[in-house]
Amino acid sequence: MPVTSAILGFPRMGANRELKFLVEGFWKGTVSETDLLNGAKELREKHWRIQQSKGIDAIPSNDFSLYDHILDAAVTFGAIPERYAGLSGLEQYFAMARGLQKPGTVDVASLPMSKYFDTNYHYVPVPLSPSTVFTLAPNSKPVREFNEAKAIGIKTRPYIVGPVSFLLLARTNKEAPIQFNKLDLIDALVDNYAGLIGELGAAGAEWIQLDEPHLTNDLTPVQQAVYLRAYTRLAAKLAAASVGVKLLVATYFEGLDINADLAFALPGVSAIHADLVRGVDSFTAVVSAAKATGKAVSLGVVNGRNVWKADLEPALRLVEQAVVILGADRVSVASSCSLLHSPHSLDAERLGAQVDRDLVDWMAFAVEKLDEIVVLTKAARFGRQYVRAALDANAKSISGKKESPRINNPAVQARLKAVLPSQLTRKSPYAARRKIQADILKLPKYPTTTIGSFPQTASLRRIRAQFKKGTLSKSEYERLLKEEIAAVVKFQENLDIDVLVHGEAERNDMVEYFGEQLDGVGFTKNGWVQSYGSRCVKPPVIYGDVSRPNAMTVDWTTYAQSLTKRPMKGMLTGPITILCWSFVRDDQPREITAKQIGLAVRDEVVDLEKAGIKVIQIDEPAIREGLPLRRTKWDDYLKWAVDAFLLSSTGVEDGTQIHSHMCYSDFEDIMDAIIQLDCDVLSIESAKSDLKLLQAFQQRAYPNELGPGIFDIHTQRVAPLGEMTNRVDQMQTCLAWDRIWINPDCGLKTRGWEETEAVLKNMVATAKHFRSAA
């Protein structure tokens, strides 16, 4: 067998997000079930045919999903929580994903949602308990979709999440006894996997792809033992039933170095897939382990989760080395992970008047990544000569990008190199700043503020869209937005809020808004990737050295300040959040890019201060999610993440009050870094969480001021006054009263005006209640 080509999964939304519109239409009732299922089938066929026509040998099936492939696996093995038991079919499936309310008959909440490793994809974890019984669904989705492809003449390699990762990704039911360990379910689960693999074998599958991404993470000895136990049992079951299907175990998002021996020791597994983009350093370990065990390797050399063209020459050298050591029949060329995390294709980027030719030349989306994989495969099979033109064109793009003046900005590079330690700290320590700020701001006790955005109504979104399209003039746009800002300021004054915001009406998205104004950051027309269910995001593309040619927020903020005597808070997005929510250049460490953004934000902070703004908030909701998967890499990340934030925030005088905001409340384990950020005021999500996080602040004697959100902004429900005062009472068991700010959990942009007014009234009343007691 020659070297083969493979991918681990294909984006399912379709070239124009067809799946999103089908599914959402179905939810609204404008698309029938039959039309939804037919439309989905068409998309699957289309995507298989694209892969076939490009020359991919191992084409996955069952990577498609109407909502989430991890939830699909739970359905395949019958792990359906009790409360959905009365439902069936699509109704049951979507009820698990997003809840279901039918007046008088059904009212079930959805399952929660979790981030899939360090991607922006969110999956639906099912809760497991001792009473969970796995049963293989009859004619399950993997079998149906394998047969569907077979019917159009394509023999696929069915994908399903592997049994150990299935359990590790699942949750433990809250009501389960504490001695219950979800990993105890492994034997029962594996027996069902054996059943499924047997059925797929009977249908004609030769290979199965089992994803075990946890194999690249830190595993406890118990988890390692469970891996061996699971695959020993699976191999025995398959042998006993004479199932001849070969198993590929796929690992990704990190190198396989630490667990390479374990992965290759898994009984009954014929091939291992390793991510050689994130884990290029583990190449030797992987190939040696393959040689020692006689197994095959799938080399993930084309990045499945970024938008850049692969540099084919070094990738090809890895493939060639592996072929020399292992022989061609034991090597395949693949995407590093599923292409689910890439946009569909570059076609749309090439259309229209404003084509950014450089950017198009530098990028490869899923369809173009198929070409890259096939070129590498052919080069390995027949020699470089056979694909000379493609290799030359690739080398030309890669070197063109390296040398482009749009990538390289010597001034930015020099400025970063010249950063002094004094540019990473405020002038005085917090205690001294606190006094100066108190004199300037003269805020009452328990000061109130909000997190930044106010309701974004349909008319507001229309105004922005029309301006973007050019159907609304700049002056008219500015007039309308100023009207909005004035209304938001008045609204806050009427409520008697202490530190005001301008409302962020000009922003579609907190990262996009800044990305559009920064040099070195570009945008795609159609570069959508699935975030969860039918939700897609179109991240900015950071392609070069980042700088800020002009002030980005000063005009709006100073206008808002001119309308009130109360302090107006300038609102910015921090460097780590801009980094984490964008596609990032792969030709320099993320650290450098983050710090460049930090300097650009610093310029804005200094300009705001110069323009008379006394309070400036730099949002960093993504700082926790940027953490590497491996613990050993945390310190390094946290060091540069903190430095990037400090670069952005420390250019001001002591009297300027720096706020930051973070949602997602689970950062007890990064408290050191949070303290090092040294912001004067930090607002965090807190309304729904227990006191664990606040206790962590207490334990560390967090010296600066803290605004734990006192109401949840994700719901329409207006939290009553008593609930909010209770919340503050609880807070005071952990925090000194004179450090507490009163604010919501997050921005209000998704709320309506009416509920916002009602809930903020209660918020201000809460502050006043405690003021009078203090």
* Of residues 638-697, those binding ligand GLN (CB under 6 A): 661, 663
Half-sphere exposure of 113 (CA within 13 A, CB side): 17
Among 747, 756, 760, 763, binds ligand GLN (CB under 6 A): 747
Among 195, 621, 626, 651, binds Zn ion (CB under 5 A): 621
Q: How many CB atoms lie within 10 A of CB 223?
A: 18
* Of residues 505-544, those binding ligand GLN (CB under 6 A): 510
Closest contact distance (angstroms) between CB of 441 and ligand GLN is 20
The nearer residue to ligand GLN, 285 or 510, going by C-beta atoms, is: 510
Q: Looking at 81-89, 582-590, 671-679, 746-754, which segment touches ligand GLN (CB under 6 A)?
A: 746-754
Q: Is residue 143 a contact residue for Zn ion (CB under 5 A)?
A: no
Among 5, 453, 547, 558, binds ligand GLN (CB under 6 A): 453
Q: Looking at 191-199, 346-354, 615-623, 707-715, which segment touches Zn ion (CB under 5 A)?
A: 615-623
The nearer residue to Zn ion, 541 or 710, going by C-beta atoms, is: 710
The nearer residue to ligand GLN, 73 or 510, going by C-beta atoms, is: 510
Residue 562, exposed/middle/buried by CB under 10 A (0-12, 13-18, 19+)?
Answer: exposed
Q: Is the CB of residue 60 less than 8 Å from the CB of residue 298?
A: no
Q: Looking at 355-363, 428-436, 469-477, 742-750, which segment touches ligand GLN (CB under 6 A)?
A: 742-750
Angstrom distances, CA of residue 543 to CA of 248, 441, 511, 512: 35, 40, 15, 14
# of chain residues touching ligand GLN (CB under 6 A) = 13
The nearer residue to ligand GLN, 126 or 687, going by C-beta atoms, is: 687
Strand order, beta sheet including 583-584: 519-522, 541-547, 583-584
437 binding partner (options ligand GLN, Zn ion, none; Cβ < 5 to 8 Å by kind): none
Comparing CA positions, the residue from 290, 368, 356, 360 lying closest to residue 322 is 290
One character per residue 432-451, x = contact with ligand GLN (rule: CB under 6 A): -------------------x
Residue 742 has which token pair?
């009163």
* Of residues 554-573, those binding ligand GLN (CB under 6 A): 571
Closest contact distance (angstroms) between CB of 621 and Zn ion is 5
Closest contact distance (angstroms) between CB of 677 and Zn ion is 15
| DSSP type of residue 654 | T
Q: Is residue 452 a contact residue for ligand GLN (CB under 6 A)?
A: yes
CA torsion angle 717 721 727 732 (round to 10): 160
Q: Is residue 576 a contact residue for ligand GLN (CB under 6 A)?
A: no
| DSSP type of residue 332 | E
Chain residue whose CB lies nearest ligand GLN? 747
Q: Looking at 40-48, 52-60, 138-146, 743-751, which segment touches ligand GLN (CB under 6 A)?
A: 743-751
Q: Looking at 6-14, 118-126, 289-297, 741-749, which segment touches Zn ion (CB under 5 A)?
A: 741-749
Q: Which amino acid is it at 85?
A: A
Sign for the pseudo-dihedral over CA of 250, 75, 122, 636? negative
The nearer residue to ligand GLN, 252 or 513, going by C-beta atoms, is: 513
Strands 541-547 and 529-532: unpaired
- Phi, psi dihedral angles at 4 (to 5 degrees): -115, 165
Closest contact distance (angstroms) between CB of 685 and Zn ion is 6
Comparing CA positions, the residue from 89, 91, 161 lying closest to residue 126 is 161
Q: Is residue 746 a contact residue for Zn ion (CB under 5 A)?
A: yes
The nearer residue to ligand GLN, 195 or 621, going by C-beta atoms, is: 621
Q: Which amino acid is it at 366?
A: A
The nearer residue to ligand GLN, 255 or 744, going by C-beta atoms, is: 744
| DSSP type of residue 570 | E
Rounded Cα distance between 401 and 407, Å, is 7
Closest contact distance (angstroms) between CB of 553 and Zn ion is 18
Q: How many CB atoms lie within 10 A of CB 29?
A: 7
Rounded Cα distance between 639 and 576, Å, is 12
Q: Looking at 3-11, 19-27, 89-97, 741-749, which segment touches ligand GLN (CB under 6 A)?
A: 741-749
Among 647, 749, 763, 766, binds ligand GLN (CB under 6 A): 749
58 binding partner (options Zn ion, ligand GLN, none; Cβ < 5 to 8 Å by kind): none
Q: Is residue 460 a contact residue for ligand GLN (CB under 6 A)?
A: no
Which H, E and C letters describe 445-462, residue by residue? CCCEECCCECCCCHHHHH
The nearer residue to ligand GLN, 156 or 665, going by C-beta atoms, is: 665
CA torsion angle 387 389 394 397 (round to 10): 180
Q: Is the CB of residue 617 less than 8 Å from the CB of residue 659?
A: yes
Q: How many CB atoms lie within 10 A of CB 138?
A: 7
# of chain residues touching Zn ion (CB under 5 A) = 3
Among 212, 619, 705, 745, binds ligand GLN (CB under 6 A): 619
| DSSP type of residue 110 | P
The nearer residue to ligand GLN, 548 or 659, going by C-beta atoms, is: 659
Rounded Cα distance between 543 and 407, Å, is 6
- The answer to whether 661 is a known catalytic residue is no
Rounded Cα distance between 382 and 2, Å, is 9
* Annotated catalytic residue within 214, 659, 714, 769: 714
Strands 246-250 and 271-275: parallel
Q: Is residue 746 a contact residue for ligand GLN (CB under 6 A)?
A: yes
List, in order, residues 6 or more apart from 757 with CB less than 8 Å away: 491, 495
Q: Is the CB of residue 749 less than 8 Å from the CB of residue 713?
A: no
- Cα separation of the two ends of the chain: 79
The nearer residue to Zn ion, 14 or 707, going by C-beta atoms, is: 707
The nearer residue to ligand GLN, 211 or 745, going by C-beta atoms, is: 745
Q: Is residue 621 a contact residue for ligand GLN (CB under 6 A)?
A: yes
Residue 172 has which token pair?
């433990």
510 binding partner (options Zn ion, ligand GLN, none; Cβ < 5 to 8 Å by kind): ligand GLN
* Of residues 654-683, those binding Zn ion (CB under 5 A): 663
Q: Which amino acid is it at 97?
A: A
Q: Is residue 332 a contact residue for ligand GLN (CB under 6 A)?
A: no
Q: Is residue 585 a contact residue for ligand GLN (CB under 6 A)?
A: no
User: In sequence order, what E strands does 588-736 have?
Assistant: 615-619, 657-662, 681-684, 705-708
| Catalytic machinery residues | 714
Residues forming contacts to Zn ion in the complex (CB under 5 A) are 621, 663, 746
Residues forming contacts to ligand GLN in the complex (CB under 6 A) are 451-453, 504, 510, 571, 619, 621, 661, 663, 746-747, 749
